[in-house]
Amino acid sequence: MIGKTFSHYKILEKLGEGGMGVVYLAEDSKLERKVAIKFLPRHFATHSDEWERFKIEAKAAAALNHPNIATIHAIEEVNDEIFIVMEYIDGQELKEKISKGPITIEESIKIAIQITEGLNAAHEKDIVHRDIKSSNIMITEKGKVKIMDFGLAKIRGGVQLTKEQSALGTAAYMSPEQARGEPTDHGADIWAFG
């Protein structure tokens, strides 16, 4: 994948991999900026329910315009590859930052406030993240917090994104109702955060 070009996005390096796809750093030749691109695994494209989840993720996240939420620029389909073009955030995961040693109470409070502001913006639009965890929180060198990966996002009152009785998310952060595969609301994000 490295070195390939899709539309006007040249793939530079792999950044990571999650339940809903592989993320690469790319160069947007039209706007001359770096972006992050999340590719849907090929096997998902053959399953309409997975494709629907991917589209809903992109639409839900794109509707969120907040300084503490990673911006979605586009959803594309090129040469049988389906991907989301996102803001590239140069920083480190909160998980990585914490693993390097303790952070001050003041810094913890600043981070927590920014996470709650981002979550509040999502919840005001009836969007539930459903996978809040330290590896989905990026922190820039200047201390700006960005919530990443709305891959399990659910629009409250909207389309059911999971099969009946299935649980999506990261077990250690799941609310009890989420772990049981029951319907969730913004309380699941608060549980995971708190």
Return d(Cα 153, Cα 50) in angstroms, integer: 13
CA distances from 153 to 4, 14, 30, 83, 91 (A): 29, 23, 29, 16, 23
Give yes or no: 131 in active site. Answer: yes
Helix (H, G, I), strand (E, B) or coil at 149: coil
Question: Residue 168 corresponds to which tokens in the numbers above?
Answer: 């999506």
Q: How far is CA 176 from the centre of its chain?
A: 22
C-alpha 73: how far from chain center: 13
Task: Name 101's Cβ contacts closer than 8 Å, sequence gap at least 6.
Answer: none
CA atoms within 13 A on the CB side of 189: 25
Please give the DSSP secondary-structure letter assigned to residue 27: E
**Which residue among 131, 149, 185, 189 is the active-site one?**
131
Q: Mapping DSSP to helix (H, G, I), strand (E, B) and coil, where does residue 175 land?
A: coil
Catalytic residues: 131
